[in-house]
Amino acid sequence: LKLISFSGYKSLNHFMEKKNFRVGVIGAGPAGIAAIGVLLSHNIKDILWIDPAFQGGRMQLYTKVPSNTKVKFFKEYVENVHSFKKYWTIPDKNENPLISYEGLDPEKGCSLSLSLKKLLKLTSNIRKYHSSEVFFEEGTVTSLNFNKGKDLWELTTQKNGEKYEYISKSVILAT
């Protein structure tokens, strides 16, 4: 399907009925990644995930900040989400989100840069292992409206001056 421009406006399916997503998740920081993980754990498919860059949200602004959160809690973030369990058993250090915490005292804090590494690996794994359930949309949400008559959310995103339109049954704001 080719996207076509219409007065500077592009839609996902210009010739067909718009794709309805079951859930739209806005934000790809810790809360957005956790939301995606929980949705996948409940076998929810047709997820629209929107973020400008999928680079860990605002976490990248705080990589030099030491955390007073214990290492064990950062690990539990991954270990307690059912759909993430397969990730922490991956032997490849480039994909395993828990490798960053290897050898650290679980009762002490660590740099938030390790948390960012974990988030980026989780995002990459979601893209790799759940591409049929999660649609990644790089862009900024410019409009979010609830259509009471259709009981649906209408979302508009923008990237590089182009606008895209989506519809979702529900929306999670993880910003």
Q: Is 12 helix (H, G, I), strand (E, B) or coil?
A: coil
Give pLDDT tens digits for 55-92: 999 999 998 888 889 999 999 999 999 999 999 889 99
* pLDDT above 70 (res 19): yes
Residue closest to 61 by CA, chosen among 71, 53, 69, 49: 53
Phi/psi at 72 (nearest 5 deg)? -60, -30
Amino acid identity, position 44: I
What residue has token string 């182009």?
162
Is the CB of residue 13 less than 8 Å from the CB of residue 166?
Answer: no
Is the CB of residue 59 less than 8 Å from the CB of residue 112?
Answer: yes
* pLDDT above 80 (res 4): no
DSSP letters, 82-105, are GGGTTGGG---TTT-TTGGGTTS-
* pLDDT above 60 (res 131): yes
* Predicted local distance difference test score (pLDDT) of residue 78: 92
* pLDDT above 60 (res 118): yes
* Predicted local distance difference test score (pLDDT) of residue 89: 87
Q: For the chain, give the longest Cα–Cα distance.
A: 57
* pLDDT above 80 (res 20): yes
What CA–CA distance (Å, rounded) separates 40 from 25? 12
* Predicted local distance difference test score (pLDDT) of residue 66: 86
